[in-house]
Chains A and B, each alone.
Chain A
């Protein structure tokens, strides 16, 4: 054992070190002077990637890790918008380019990536993240540096409260929690609901808070509040505890990768009641993971592919042609966030942070593919939500709920 202890310590130290850095730079033609890692003080002019005829945007997303489909969908949506803008002649006579960094779904990686985008790549604007916990980490850095940031789909209210450079093109959690509580109480006529939240995610906690408050206000009863940590794969202990309280439904405001497994294990433990959730469920992977365990469950979302609006249908067709598969809400919001960004850059009097910031703040009645976007004084989009029902490996539109 004596020999073994130092090995153990060394092993953990190595694990920690290895976990630390893994930011994946996207391809670009930038040559690092002298071969060493370029940090803030690169001399002005020639160091800026892309050169003078390109406007560089930055994006941070989870391209790998457990929530990889979030990042990939968003990136595809952003890509599509940028390609369209470039095909139409670019912005202010210049082409657009995006530098994308992977944060593996981790807030600390996201913060690091955003710092690189600002200090090293000198981007004019930042898009991202999907997960609110990651956006929170990024918003702080973007605000401090005075670089505008638009999150496509972070719904936690505190994200835009980080400062006046932070915007979003989606609705916020209180609204989603409110919508589902109302739907459960009025449409599904439920009296007793249990909650199963992800206590590592600001998103999940935010939805839970509003849901439980609204549901109780409307005369319902929360029978149990259990929690898990994202990445867990065994939820049986909590489900057993929930089972004891005999709820009529379970609110699981988590992400698809966990929810799919939770649904299976809930059915396996003998819980047959419907599950309910938010936009974190939205991924084609959900059905693969859940099998048919989610049939008869509901979640609130930003958009439905069934929306007959020609603008939305054109987007879906373009997306299918470019990447295959029906775009999920995150792809649609990624597309919308890039569109809003491009319009603002076009409108801004120059490419400085404050000028672009002011232009974004004036966004009003912007026709997005996931609904019309008007930013309020808190820099949040005011939009309606849809309720989708899960069945047979797909979702069907149930109803629209307005703010």
Chain B
């Protein structure tokens, strides 16, 4: 029973991060019908931005509130700028081209980032994995069971990560459904040509969507780095793929769907590894994806829209 509780804590911690990354896929897909395969790698770059900032701040400042805020601001801001540049120079010129072209470009950017960051020149980090500094000073909040082998352990950063993730998601939900910009976004998503005719600055809306998605990716990446303590240039490929699966399970293009998909995936993986074997982790995760797509082709929260001809 206590083991189950520990698995729940671990699964939710992993799931919220998948959910946050999945939100980026979902937003961009919702607006552009483009699967931005570079999303996971933008996350990776954000993590390295946070890593460098933490080092520049030094050990003393890392644990303080403003230190953490600054690290998050730099990483999220930096990624927003990067998202803008990627959209402006890689995707916008291809917007009226067949959709496959943009998809291939996205994969190209993904590999450029993940393999480019393995170079060991100048500011680039090199291939080897690195330890992410403990920007939130770890403190055990409670334990259950005998002190030498506690049954359940809960750390402060697990709760802080969860709160941060939920906060970011709530903010996004508010932005999409309660603001003028959100309405513009949904309009562009519905039909960007008609939206442009109605006076919506489509390009600006799309740019902003990319920027928000990339900033979210950076935030998620930092939470991931705090959780798993190790960062490497290839982390984006792996986490990105998992988050993409989460987005599809939830129904890609759907914000609550991405959250539920991420959480489900995190929990499923945790239980599979905890009670069966780690070899099954990916098989079960992708099996789950196939199952969901068979039963509900649009994902759990998605709608299957008939195409108008």
**A interface residue numbers (CB < 8 A to B):** 1-4, 7-8, 10-11, 14-15, 18, 22, 63-66, 68-69, 199, 226-229, 231-234, 236-238, 240-241, 243-244, 246, 257, 260-261, 264-265, 268-272, 285, 288-291
Contact = CB atoms under 8 A, between A and B. Distances in A.
Interface of B: 3, 6-7, 10, 14, 33, 35, 37, 99-100, 103-104, 107, 111, 115, 118, 126-131, 134, 138, 143, 148-151, 153, 155, 227-230, 232, 234-235, 238, 252, 269-271, 273-275, 277-279, 281, 297-298, 302, 304-305, 307
B130 A289 contact: yes
Contact of B10 (A68, A240, A246): A240
Given A10-B103, A11-B103, A243-B149, A264 B229 contact: yes
A232 to B, nearest CB: 7
Contacts of A236: 6, 10, 270
Nearest to A261: B230
B216 to A, nearest CB: 20
A260 B228 CA distance: 11
Contacts of A288: 130-131
Contacts of A8: 35
Nearest to A257: B129
Contacts of A244: 3, 149, 151
Contacts of A14: 103-104, 107
A7 B35 contact: yes
Contact of A271 (B149, B238, B269): B149
Given A234-B228, A269-B153, A285-B128, A229 B278 contact: yes
Nearest to A14: B107
B252 A4 contact: yes
Nearest to B248: A8
Given A14-B107, A271-B149, A272-B148, A240 B307 contact: no
B234 A66 contact: yes
Contacts of A246: 148-149
A11 B35 CA distance: 9
Contacts of B270: 236-237
Nearest to A22: B115
Contacts of A10: 100, 103-104
B227 A234 contact: yes
A268 B151 CA distance: 12
4 tightest A-B CB contacts, nearest first: A237-B274, A237-B273, A233-B228, A270-B150
B127 A237 contact: no
B7 A237 contact: yes
Nearest to A241: B274
Task: Specify which of B127, B228, B232 lies most central, judged by the most chain A CB atoms within 10 Å of its CB.
Answer: B127
A3 B278 contact: no
Nearest to A200: B279
A1 B300 CA distance: 13
A227 B99 CA distance: 42
Contacts of A1: 297-298, 302, 304-305
B279 A233 contact: no
A269 B150 CA distance: 8
A348 B2 CA distance: 66
